[in-house]
Chains A and B, each alone.
Chain A
Amino acid sequence: DAGVTQSPTHLIKTRGQHVTLRCSPISGHKSVSWYQQVLGQGPQFIFQYYEKEERGRGNFPDRFSARQFPNYSSELNVNALLLGDSALYLCASSRRDGINSPLHFGNGTRLTVT
C-alpha cells in the first residue's frame, strides 16, 4: 500500500504570495493532520480534519487554512506568505480519530519563502 503522499516536494515562493500544498492519506485513513517543522525543532500542529470536518487547530494565524475532500485527501493553503513560513510542511494520516491510532507521515513539502 502506498504511504502518505505529498506534493509538491519543494516549492519556492515570494513574500506576499499564496501557496497550496496537497496530501493524499493512506488508503482507509480518514483523519489528516498538518504540521509545520522549522529546522532544528519538532513538528508543530496546524490542523486536523476527520471525515471532512475540522477537529483541531493549532496556534497559527488565519492566513493558514485547510480542507479535506470526500476522498479524504487534503489541502493546506497559506496566504500572504512571510519569510517565517519557510519550513517543512508535513501531512499525517491515521485510521481514525483518537489516541489509539498512530500518525503516519508523508515526506513533506519543503517551502522556501524569499
Chain B
Amino acid sequence: SQELEQSPQSLIVQEGKNLTINCTSSKTLYGLYWYKQKYGEGLIFLMMLQKGGEEKSHEKITAKLDEKKQQSSLHITASQPSHAGIYLCGAGPQYNNNDMRFGAGTRLTVKP
C-alpha cells in the first residue's frame, strides 16, 4: 500500500497568484493521479502521470512527477476562484490502480 503525504494541508491565496501543492510517497510510485474535489462532492480527475520527469498541463494547471524523489507537484498559474477546492493525489500498486491510496488533500481557497 502507498502512503501519500500532501503539503500544505491548506492554502489561502489571492486571486491571480501562483501556487504549488506537493505530494510525497513513502513507497515506489508506479503512477500518480491528481484529483480535485468540491466539498461533499465526488472527485474530478485532473491528470495522470506515469513516467519519471513527466509533465502535463491542463489550462492553468501543471503537474510534474519526480520518480527518483517519489514526489509530484501541482502548480496553478494565475489562480482564480474557480480553482478553489480540495486537491488530492492518488497512487496505486504496481499493476492495478483501482486499489488507489490517496493523500489527505490540500484545501485551496482563492480570495477575489
Contact = CB atoms under 8 A, between A and B. Distances in A.
Q: Indicate, yes or no, whether A interacts with B.
A: yes
Interface of A: 4, 31, 33, 40-45, 48, 50, 55-56, 58, 88, 90, 92, 94, 97-108, 110
A108 B98 contact: no
Contacts, number: 84
B48 A102 contact: yes
Identify whether the interface residues of B are mostly helix, strand, loop, or mixed. Answer: loop
Interface in B33-65: 33, 35, 40-45, 48, 50
A99 B50 contact: yes
A102 B30 CA distance: 13
Nearest to B41: A107
A99 B31 contact: yes
B13 interface: no
B102 A48 contact: no
Contact of B98 (A33, A42, A90, A110): A33
B96 A90 contact: no
A39 to B, nearest CB: 9
B98 A58 contact: no
Nearest to A33: B98
Nearest to A104: B45
Instruction: Kindly name the residue among B42, B90, B105 whose own CB sees the greatest number of chain A CB atoms within 10 A.
Output: B42
Interface in B54-112: 88, 90, 92, 94-105
A100 B103 CA distance: 20
A99 B102 CA distance: 15
Contacts of A90: 42-43
A101 B94 CA distance: 13
Contacts of B96: 48, 55-56, 97-99
Contacts of A40: 104
B102 A56 contact: no
Given A42-B105, A43-B102, A103-B33, A98 B97 contact: yes
Contacts of A58: 99
